[in-house]
Each structure stands twice: as structure tokens, then as C-alpha cells.
Amino acid sequence: MKNSKWDIKENTFNFAEDLKYGQLGEGRIRNMLENLVEGSFEVKSDRYRNGNMAIEMRQNPRRCGKWVPSGLQVTKAQWWVYIFSMDGGFVIVAVDRLKRFIKANKDT
């Protein structure tokens, strides 16, 4: 798999570059929080608390035998949230990043 442009290269510590990188992170979080206000989140939860994360990609409505795109494939949200427990355990991932991850790892 191709390395991400965000991977850390060996021995490349530079305060000015690190500061710019930190500011990019702050901007990403600011964007996420703004999207929270606008409702641009897809939220799923582990209702049965078995520790398994499920990402819906297709469904078979009413078990008719025809699978159709759903969930992550059709969401218009910018962020995907998975709640492991209602007392504060959750992860937030950009939808485009999660789609790239699934595509890169579909055969594993």
C-alpha cells in the first residue's frame, strides 16, 4: 500500500514544519466540529456491546435476494462515528478516509 503523505519520514524534525502540521490538525478538528453543528455525521453503535465494529456497505431489503448499496456507500455525511459504549467510548473517522481504508483492505 502506498504511504500516506502524512506518514512521518525518518529524521525530518523541523519546528516550523511541525507547527504547520499541528495547525492543519487544528483546522481538521475545527472542520469536524462545524460539521457536527450542521449534522454531517453518520453515527452507528455497538448496541449489543460485543466489541465488534460493523460497517454497513450493502443491505438485502426484506431479504428479497437483491443486495443494494447502503450505509457507508451512500452516506452524504463527511464524518463517520462509531459508538462502542454510551459512557464515552467512540471513534470518529472522515468518511472519505474510511472508504479508502476499506478499498485498500477489502481482500484481507
Q: What is the pLDDT of residue 3?
A: 62
pTM strictly above 0.85: no
pLDDT at residue 56 greater than cutoff 80: yes
> Which residue, chain included where needed, has cell 426484506?
62
Contact by Cβ (8 Å): 73, 58: yes
Q: How many CB atoms lie within 10 A of CB 94?
A: 16
Which pLDDT does position 98 carry in this prediction? 93
pLDDT higher than 90, residue 52: no
The label of the residue with cell 469536524 reads: 32
Q: Which three cell numbers stand for residue 36?
A: 457536527
